[in-house]
Amino acid sequence: MFYGIVESESLHNPRVLNTLTAKKVVKEFQPNAETKYWHIFVLKVSDDEIVSVAEDIASEIKNGWYAIFWSGAKVYVVFSRKIFELRKEAHWQSAEYEAVREYGNKNGVQKEYLDFNKNFAQYHKLTEDK
């Protein structure tokens, strides 16, 4: 089973989210963003469907955004028309992770959003039942 984080505002056509299983949706205020509220979809995706779901998201996600999906050992980072498959790291520092950061930054994602050492714990927290 994979968990995923996708903001509906990041998609050209957010209706693609209607075909997925949402564990929950979190509305988050973003005072410095163009869109003041983000709707964060916390998704559950089966191992069998993860590649096709990542491809669907990659075809709809806007430049300057990314989505992330992870399981116990594997992580998919999805940009517009580009998908990275990484091994999950305790401390994000591999060459593969640096390639993700470089690619994302060159394609409009701000560096602080690509800091998995800081942000990955927040992604996990969103998947907790509360």
pLDDT tens digit sequence for 98-125: 999 999 999 999 999 999 999 988 888 8
Give pLDDT, residue 23: 94
**Backbone angles phi and psi of 68, in degrees to 5:** -135, 140
Q: Could you state, in chain order, the average pLDDT of each consecutive group of 10 residues for the chain (130 residues)?
A: 96 95 92 86 97 97 97 96 95 96 96 91 81
Give counts: helices (H), strands (E), the chain.
Answer: 3, 6
Q: Looking at residue 57, what DSSP letter applies?
A: H
Give pLDDT, residue 124: 81
Q: In DSSP terms, which residues pair with 69 in a beta bridge?
A: 4, 76
Q: What is the pTM of this model?
A: 0.93
Give pLDDT, residue 33: 78
Question: Are the C-beta atoms of 5 and 45 separated by less than 8 Å?
Answer: no
User: What is the DSSP pairing of strand 74-79 with strand 67-70?
Assistant: antiparallel
Distance (Å, whole) CA 55 – CA 33: 26
Residue 96: Cβ-neighbour burial (10 angstroms; 0-12, 13-18, 19+): middle
Residue 32: Cβ-neighbour burial (10 angstroms; 0-12, 13-18, 19+): exposed
User: What is the DSSP pairing of strand 67-70 with strand 37-45?
Assistant: unpaired
Query: Any idea what the Cα angle at residue 7 is, between residues 90 and 101, rounded to 5°?
Result: 40
